Amino acid sequence: MVKITFIDSGGTARTVEGEVGSTLMETAINNGVPGIEAECGGACACSTCHVYIEEAWREKVGTPSPMEEDMLDFAYGVQPNSRLSCQIKVSEDFEGLVVRTPDRQA
């Protein structure tokens, strides 16, 4: 388990336990973190699990695959640090990870 913090668009931070090997989207949904809809259940088919990775973490978290980039075309307010949280696997070195959720998903 690693600690992961989700900050919503209003600035409220929620720190939850993420299970190594599960996805960031699952971590949010399983812990009732608002701001992530994940309509397609993690199939990279809906882009409603959009998050912004805090600058300091971007390198560790990595860059989107071409398939994820395609899906990001449909997200709202895409920025260079945008990712789809269902495509990010939680790993040991995510302890302390901070991500932000956008003000709307769809």
Partner 1 sequence: MSETIKTDIVIIGAGPIGLFAVFELGLLDMKTHLIDILDKIGGQCAELYPEKPIYDIPGIPYTSAQGLVDALLLQIKPFNPQFHLNEMVEKVEKIGDPLFRVTTDQGKQFECKVVVIAAGGGSFQPKRPPIPGVEPYEGKSLFYSVRRMEQFRDKRILIVGGGDSALDWTLNLAPLAKKLTLIHRRSEFRAAPDSVNKMRALVDAGKIDLVFGQVTALHGDDGQLQKATVKTNDGAINQLECDALLPFFGLTMKLGPVANWGFELKNNELIPVETAAFETSVPGIFAIGDINWYPGKLKLILSGFHEGALMAQKAYHYCYPEKRLVFQYTTSSSNLQKKLGVAPQTAQPA
Ligand X SMILES: Cc1cc2nc3c(=O)[nH]c(=O)nc-3n(C[C@H](O)[C@H](O)[C@H](O)COP(=O)(O)OP(=O)(O)OC[C@H]3O[C@@H](n4cnc5c(N)ncnc54)[C@H](O)[C@@H]3O)c2cc1C
- Summarize as ranges the residues that interact with partner 1 (CB under 8 A): 40, 43, 45-46, 66, 69-70, 72-78, 106
Amino acid at residue number 45: A
Give the x-and-dash track for 46-85 against ligand FES (CB under 6 A): xxxx---------------------x------------x-
Q: Provide the binding-site residues for ligand X, judged by CB under 6 A.
A: 40, 43, 45
> CA-to-CA distance for 42 and 84, rounded, in angstroms?
9
Nearer to partner 1 by Cβ, of 32 and 66: the residue is 66
Q: Determine the straight-line distance between the first and last CA of the chain, rounded to whole angstroms.
A: 30
**Alpha carbon distances (Å) from 55 to 62, 94, 100:** 11, 14, 11
Q: For tokens 């409603």, name the residue.
A: 48
Least distance (Å) from ligand FES to the CB of residue 2?
20
Q: What angle do CA 60, 62, 66 make, to 5 degrees?
A: 175
Nearer to ligand FES by Cβ, of 53 and 86: the residue is 86
Binding residues for ligand FES, per CB under 6 A?
25, 38-40, 42-49, 71, 84, 86
